[in-house]
Chain A
Amino acid sequence: MGNREVVQVRELFTDARLVATRDLRIEARSRVLLNQVAPFALLVLVLFGFALDADQRTLRTFAPGLFWVAVLLAALLAVQRSTSLEHADDAHTGLRLSGMAPSSVFLGKAVAVFVQLIVLETLLTMGIVVLYGSEVDDPVLLVLTAAAAAVAVATTGTLYGALASGLGARETLLPILLLPVLAPVLIGATRSFDDALGAAAVDGWAWLGLLVVFGLVATVLGALAYGAMIED
């Protein structure tokens, strides 16, 4: 790698950090995630409890799946929030004029969503332990799965958020575009959690591998395609 490439890569990460810090600072000041999205995610857990059964054994068996459905629903809100930041005060024009590479913007926004998802997942893990009586059998697998799935959801979500923005009816468009794409993440993360929470006898580590592959593909694809999304 030549000197120029090293500078470019360094710039890529510096710019990404700037964008991520900006998004997280807005969140720290507006508290939309903590005041709205996190309570919504916990509400989903409670609703599942009402809908399924008061029997804790049933809930414990299905806790991994319910956990990840709650994460995906909350992630939709987090992604929509992340996208709407760019629409306020025409911020996306500012970003475009800043001269930052689109891949830096993509990485920065994805990192900010990732951090928010980790917070959500932590809260929801406490939620299923308290409400559903889940027990953590393999904490390492649990943490790695949560991180890998958060990468996959954050990168795919950021790309699709940009994709649906600027189009009519983007709030309703995002879920039908994003959720089917995330089907493998839902399956993989649920199975991996099945192992980590001792809910079913499966090899969670193999599933973790699938999540990592998904996350890598989504990151590369997102970084490449994001430019085409925001150039207009």
Chain B
Amino acid sequence: MADSTTSTGSPGSRILGLTTLLGLAGLLLFAFALTEPDVRLHPTTGEEFGQFDAVRLLYLHVPMAVLTYVAFLTCAVASAGYLLKRGAWWDVTAHASAEVGTVFCGLVLVTGSIWGKPVWNTWWEWGDVRLMTTLVLFLLFTGYLALRRTPAEPQRQARRAAVVALVAVLDIPLINRSVEWWENRTLHQQSTLAELKIEDLTLFTLMLGFVVFGLVFAWLMLHRFRVGWLEQAQADRDMALAIAERHAEMETLDVDAAIGRTGGGK
């Protein structure tokens, strides 16, 4: 018991962490060195066009975007589970996945923005549906995490956080629809991936990106979940300790009273 409360690591998580690190190194090697930049020739003018080296960011950006949605969906399912079952496991899972999802979401926005500057010639595009939806999603879950950090009675906080997560996820289709109608245009070509020359190595690197970021996600989730679990255990222990101390105080007072000794005397 004592060991399990001092660390979030285990032999399994260490192997997972090591595999993740090796995978990340491999992914960076493939994405930034071994694959070719996206350069195409215009069929009539013969001019070079394409995304050039910026395409390399997509090997990171796309998997992270997919995992952002996986994380937020996990959070919604766990939140619904908490409201139905009221178990600590659901609550800690919801909190962990929201936190990991928000980190991924932030990275998706940053990598997307860096990619957009050379390809779209702008850091930010207001009319893009996915961009705006992702930003609002990021803000929604920033609010969720702020709620999680406010001091409150744990069950009360868990219940309210669960409702916020469910509303946030239900809001996504409406945000998506409204932004789509708002400008009715998108720079996010459906064909960003389709129009690239997806050759064997490109496809392999993209798939490797999914696997590696899947591992990063699993590793972060594992540790974040364990931190949350330990936090809850610690809070429970502190509470039990405080109650035991009060009991002990009361007993001392009772004994003192029984033998006729007052608080100030010896």
Contacts and interface: CB of A to CB of B under 8 A. Distances in A.
Interface of A: 159, 163-164, 166-170, 173, 176-177, 180-181, 183-184, 187-188, 191, 206-207, 210, 213-214, 217, 221, 225, 228-229, 232
Nearest to A162: B160
B248 interface: no
B3 interface: no
A202 to B, nearest CB: 9
Most buried by A among B83, B155, B162, B182: B182
Given A183-B175, A210-B177, A167 B152 contact: yes
Most buried by A among B164, B178, B182: B178
A228 B155 CA distance: 11
A232 B153 contact: yes
B178 A173 contact: no
B142 A176 contact: yes
Interface string B159-180: 1101110111011001101110
10 contacts: A163-B160, A166-B152, A167-B160, A168-B152, A173-B143, A183-B136, A184-B178, A191-B182, A210-B174, A213-B174
A184 B132 CA distance: 11
B10 to A, nearest CB: 34
A207 B163 contact: no
A177 B144 CA distance: 7
A180 B136 contact: yes
Contacts of A214: 174
Dominant secondary structure of chain A at its interface with chain B: helix
Contact of A207 (B140, B146, B164, B181): B181
Given A173-B146, A176-B146, A183 B178 contact: yes
Contacts of A183: 136, 171, 175, 178
A175 to B, nearest CB: 9
A184 B142 contact: no
Nearest to A172: B146
Most buried by B among A173, A187, A210: A187
Contact of A188 (B144, B157, B166, B178): B178
A221 B179 contact: no
Dominant secondary structure of chain B at its interface with chain A: helix
A229 B150 contact: no
A193 to B, nearest CB: 13
Contacts of B182: 187, 191
Given A191-B181, A232-B156, A163 B151 contact: no
A213 B155 CA distance: 32
A167 B159 CA distance: 12
Contact of A206 (B140, B146, B159, B181): B181
A181 B140 CA distance: 7
B174 A167 contact: no
Interface string B173-216: 01101110110000000000000000000000000000000000
A174 to B, nearest CB: 10
A225 B167 CA distance: 10
Contact of B143 (A176, A206, A221): A176
Nearest to A213: B174
Given A168-B151, A191-B182, A177 B143 contact: yes
A163 B156 CA distance: 9
B143 A167 contact: no
Given A167-B151, A181-B168, A184-B178, 11 more contacts: A159-B167, A166-B156, A168-B152, A176-B143, A177-B146, A181-B140, A183-B136, A187-B179, A188-B178, A210-B174, A210-B178
B213 to A, nearest CB: 25
B139 interface: yes
B147 interface: yes
A38 B10 CA distance: 59
B184 to A, nearest CB: 10
Nearest to B155: A232
B141 to A, nearest CB: 9
A164 to B, nearest CB: 8
Given A228-B163, A232-B155, A167 B150 contact: yes
A207 to B, nearest CB: 7
A177 B136 CA distance: 11
B136 A173 contact: no
B172 to A, nearest CB: 10
B146 A187 contact: no
A164 B156 CA distance: 11
